Amino acid sequence: MEHVSRSFRGLKAVDDVSFTVEEGSIQGIIGPNGAGKTTLFNLVAGAIRPDAGTVHLDDRDITGLAPYRVSRAGMARTFQLMRPFGSVSVLENVAVAAMAAGTSRHDADRVAADVIERVGISRWRDVRSSSLPTAGLKRLELARALAGRPRVLLLDEVLAGLVPSERTPVMELLEALRREDGVTLVFVEHIMAAVMRLSDSVLVLDQGRVLMSGSPDEVTKDPRVIEAYLGEEPTDAAS
């Protein structure tokens, strides 16, 4: 994306942000609360339109495209606050996503069952999704995003709310997605251990602007990053 900006009532939530994610890489995005990370995702996924700037997927300009078109172009997302289709089962949540991505009605349940298995929530497949615990909902978000076999996956804090023992399998899954399926991952995360482990490159946002970008090592050693976190130690001992 290039020179993307978006203001809300005069407040610049995202201010002239540019970055490129290499195909098949894992891009981490960090920043203090209110840095504009979720807004950035909403801009990329089409949920909101940028005031200025352009977003490209491969060579295609997807700026301002409706969210469902962005999704069909091969870019899926998860929501930080889990948003299941609450009245239906876990399986149906994922089956709908598969159908929306073009899977036939006939194959949708099978595809969904496979994805649910892979994400590790098979034991909840027939459960009303609104009654899942947070750990289940987080992975349901992931399963639903994967159902359409996206080429690019935008993950908004998929590890938050999981206990350390639950994070490892999710991280392994993300690595497998990149390794085996060639999925490009862009993820916003507060848990630095995960950012360090997964990212090829890290983008640091602060107050809507790119503070810096580089390898995980460079980023964590940069004094500006530590400053931005205001002494909030940017490492997480857990897991």
Partner 1 sequence: MSAATQERPTEEAVLPRPAWGRHLIVLAVLTVLLIPLPLILPPATQAVAVRVLIFAIMAVGWNIMSGFGGMFSFGHAAYFGLGAYTSVWLLVNHGVSPWIGMLAGMVVAALFGVMVGFLALRYRLKGAYFALSTFAFAEMLRLLAINSDFVNRAVGYNVPLRREFSWVFMQFAPGAPEYFWVGLGLTVVAIAVSILFLGSKLGRFTIAVRDDEEAAAAVGVPVMRTKILTIALSAAITSVAGAFYTQYYFFIDPDGAFGPSVSIQAILPAVIGGVGTIWGPAIGALVLGPLNDITATLLRNPPPALDFLQGRAGLDVIAYALLLILIVLLLPQGVYGAIRERVRRR
Q: Which residues of this chain interact with partner 1, rule CB under 8 A?
A: 45, 47, 66-68, 71-72, 76-77, 79, 83-89, 92-93, 95-97, 99-102, 105, 120, 123-124, 126-128, 131-133, 135-136, 144-145, 147-148, 163, 165-166, 169
Residues in the chain: 239
Name the minimum Å distance from CB 16 to partner 1: 26
Q: What is the DSSP letter of 160?
A: T
Enumerate residues 6+ apart whose C-beta is below 8 A from 120: 139, 169, 173
Which CB sits closer to partner 1, 41 or 195?
41
Name the minimum Å distance from CB 147 to partner 1: 7
Instruction: Identify residue 94 by its one-letter amino acid code.
Output: V
Name the minimum Å distance from CB 175 to partner 1: 16
Cα–Cα separations (whole angstroms), residue 227 to 36, 206, 218, 221 = 17, 10, 14, 11
Give me 150's structure tokens: 């996206």
Enumerate residues 6+ apart whose C-beta is below 8 A from 142: 78, 119, 155, 158, 170, 173
Instruction: Identify residue 166 by its one-letter amino acid code.
Output: E
Determine contact, residues 101/149, Cβ cutoff 8 Å: yes
C-alpha to C-alpha distance for 218 and 131, rounded to whole angstroms: 42
Which CB sits closer to partner 1, 76 or 205?
76
Which CB sits closer to partner 1, 71 or 199?
71
Which CB sits closer to partner 1, 14 or 99?
99
Cα–Cα separations (whole angstroms), residue 136 to 63, 155, 159 = 32, 16, 11
Which CB sits closer to partner 1, 126 or 181?
126
Which CB sits closer to partner 1, 81 or 230?
81
Name the minimum Å distance from CB 206 to partner 1: 26
Name the minimum Å distance from CB 228 to partner 1: 29
Q: Which of 196, 155, 125, 204 is nearest to 44 (CA)?
A: 155
Name the minimum Å distance from CB 220 to partner 1: 28
